[in-house]
Amino acid sequence: MNYYTKKPKMRFEIKHPKTILAIIAIFILFNSIIYLFNKNILPAVLSIGEERMKREATEIINETALDIYSKDFNYEEVIITDKDNEGNITMLRADTVKLNYLSSKLVLEANRRIGELEEIGLEVPLGYMTKNLVFYNLGPDIGVKMTQVGNISSSYESIFESAGINQTRHKIYLNVNMKMKVIVPFKSEEVEVVTQIPISETIIVGKTPSTAIDLNKN
């Protein structure tokens, strides 16, 4: 004769419920902090980093241009004026070799200095986001890095304006453009730096030709 007995039911008992609840609470809190950090804090830090990086890059380009063009740019050497027998200007010719040399020198030096900025980066204290001078330097600091995207491009702009009777003001500008990616933990943003640098402003006495020179095409 066979006898059958009921198998005892398995019972699961939680030995340390308080510990498990504490772990769950810590997990939820940790994820909430991460969410708030990614949602609110990082975008603010990224925005501040973009602003400061653009300012640093613009200062580098402007300082480099000032150093190079103040030493090597001479209007009479770069812009050649042809006149007729009556002293009227018949043609303005640009020395494009000289202009290209100066802009290339600017690009190389600016690239070098911006490369140093890439290696160093910036530190933005969290207190900086309060926009309150009392808390500006309160930490912790969040590192902001940047990397250049592509090469720096440059172009010249030539403008003629009336400066009085039989006088013309000739302005030459250098337009510099670069793109960079600003990087903070878990986020990055591509930004563009555009700056216009005045190179020369000269008063030309006498009649000028009706067709102005185009430094970019030349």
Per-residue pLDDT of the chain (218 residues; tens, 9 = 90+): 555 555 555 554 555 666 777 777 776 766 665 666 566 666 777 777 888 888 889 999 999 999 999 999 998 888 888 877 777 777 788 888 999 999 999 999 999 998 888 877 777 766 666 555 555 566 677 777 888 887 888 999 988 888 777 788 889 999 999 998 888 777 778 889 999 999 988 888 766 665 555 565 43
Whole-model pTM: value is 0.69
Rounded CA separation 64/98 (Å) = 17
The encoded tokens of residue 12 equal 């699961």
The encoded tokens of residue 81 equal 């004026």
Q: What sections of 73-142 are H helices per DSSP?
A: 75-78, 96-120
**Biggest CA-to-CA distance, the chain:** 138
What number of residues does the chain have? 218
